Amino acid sequence: MASIHKDPRGKSPFWYAAYYGGDGSRKFKSTKTSNRKEALKICAEWSEASEKARARTLTTAQVRKVFNEILDNAGDDPLENFTVAEWMREWIAGKTASRGNKTGGRYGKPIEDFIEHMGTRADLPVRAVTTKDVRAFRDAQAKLGKSPVTVNLAHKVVASALMAAKPQGYIGANPASGVDYLPTHADKTHKETFTAEEISAIYTAATGDWKGVVLLGAFAGMRFGDALRLRWGDVDLQAGSITYTPSKTARLEKRLTVPIHTELEAC
């Protein structure tokens, strides 16, 4: 039976809890409180948790509950208990705040895909994620017909989110580190630029402002998104140049200046 006692030598003002531990041995631990009522409560919870441990019914949530109550009695902050879904979304929120909405949006899709892949297990503590989960996610993305580059990006995003949980003590090791990335050399060998005929066909099919977007992509090397965001203030006709901030490297706050091609100038 669990009980509390004072140090017979009078060396500590705290109450000590006497109970049987999870391994069946007798324990004698300080409750770190001099309040008898609080000490009795802590002792009872330790004893109950130990009984469940011996019966193999102790859960992570119960362990955290006991520790949080001990920390609360000591005046410390409680331990956070992120589920898989909560941690992944917390990580995305942090990335969005530090890197911008565009990065958050790009990383958000793989994260939500991973949460969906985990199913009901996404409600478990983040430490429940296994190497098998990450590998199955990678393979499921590939089976959807996504390119190895796209699959590897999703894998990398998930791995980064899990890695961020390690130094904060939510996981002991990153389960994604044991999963290899897909080879991408085959993809790279088949990538080709548009031919002049193909660009002409795209330009002919385009309507309205999209014709200008096609020309900016072809003659200024701009991504479609950057071309769509271009304003007249970015164009210097006298200097014959266009100055803009590429969205892909926007976090570097570096402006890029490109000359206006004669084909663009003629439009």
The pLDDT averaged over each successive group of 10 residues in the chain (267 residues) is 83 86 80 86 82 60 60 58 88 81 78 94 88 95 93 94 88 90 68 77 83 83 84 84 82 80 71
Q: Quick one: pLDDT at residue 191?
A: 57
Contact (CB, 8 A) for 175 and 135? no
Long-range contacts of 34-38 (CB under 8 A, 24+ apart): 36/4, 38/73
Tokens of 263: 């084909």
Q: Quick one: pLDDT at residue 137?
A: 96
**Number of continuous H segments (helices) and E segments (strands) in the chain:** 11, 6
Q: Quick one: pLDDT at residue 87?
A: 93
Q: Quick one: pLDDT at residue 46?
A: 79
Architecture of the structural domain at 84-189: Orthogonal Bundle (1.10)
Q: Let me know if domain 196-265 sits in CATH 1.10.443.10.
A: yes
Q: Quick one: pLDDT at residue 244?
A: 87
Q: Quick one: pLDDT at residue 62?
A: 59
CB-neighbour burial class of residue 263 (10 A; exposed 0-12, middle 13-18, buried 19+): exposed
State the amino acid at position 110 in one-letter form. Answer: P
